[in-house]
Amino acid sequence: MCSKQLNTVLRIPSLWSCSVCLDQNSDESKDAFAQVPWSPAPAPSPMNPIDCRSACASRCALSSRPNLCNRACGSCCARCNCVPPGTSGNYHMCPCYAAITTRGGRPKCP
């Protein structure tokens, strides 16, 4: 016999014995799982969403283009769940808000 045939012949009984062991243990494992009810793990709760409309209204209160400011602020707030305090600056309070840029690379959030 060549070595490939010998390996195949030797491998078959070991696979057969594994399947026999699995068949014998399957009834026992079904009983073990039947005793413990399965319940999915609860999803981690996200942070409570802030009121973006009022946060952006105060952020854009002094803007010369309030509609544009509110629209940009609203999309940034929805993504980051954060708006820096005050009417300008304070980006260190909300790094995600400060990191969002336009396609041109300019800061998007007012």
Query: DSSP 3-state assignment of 92?
Result: helix
Asked if the structure places residue 46 within a domain, the reply is: no
Q: Can you list the alpha helix ranges (DSSP code H) found in 1-110? A: 3-35, 52-59, 66-80, 95-99
Could you report the per-residue pLDDT of 23-64, keeping only the tens digit for each? 555 555 555 555 656 667 666 556 688 999 999 999 999 999
pTM over 0.75: no
Mean local confidence (pLDDT), 76-105: 95
When divided into structural domains, the chain yields a total of: 1
Asked if the structure places residue 14 within a domain, the reply is: no
Asked if the structure places residue 73 within a domain, the reply is: yes
Q: Tell me the DSSP string of 29-53.
A: HHHHHHHS---PPPPPPPPPPP-HH
For residue 82, what are the domain limits? Answer: 52-99
Give CA–CA dist 74/108, Å, rounded.
11
| 1, amino acid identity | M
Asked if the structure places residue 31 within a domain, the reply is: no
Confidence (pLDDT) at 39? 63
Asked if the structure places residue 65 within a domain, the reply is: yes
Give CA–CA dist 3/8, Å, rounded.
9
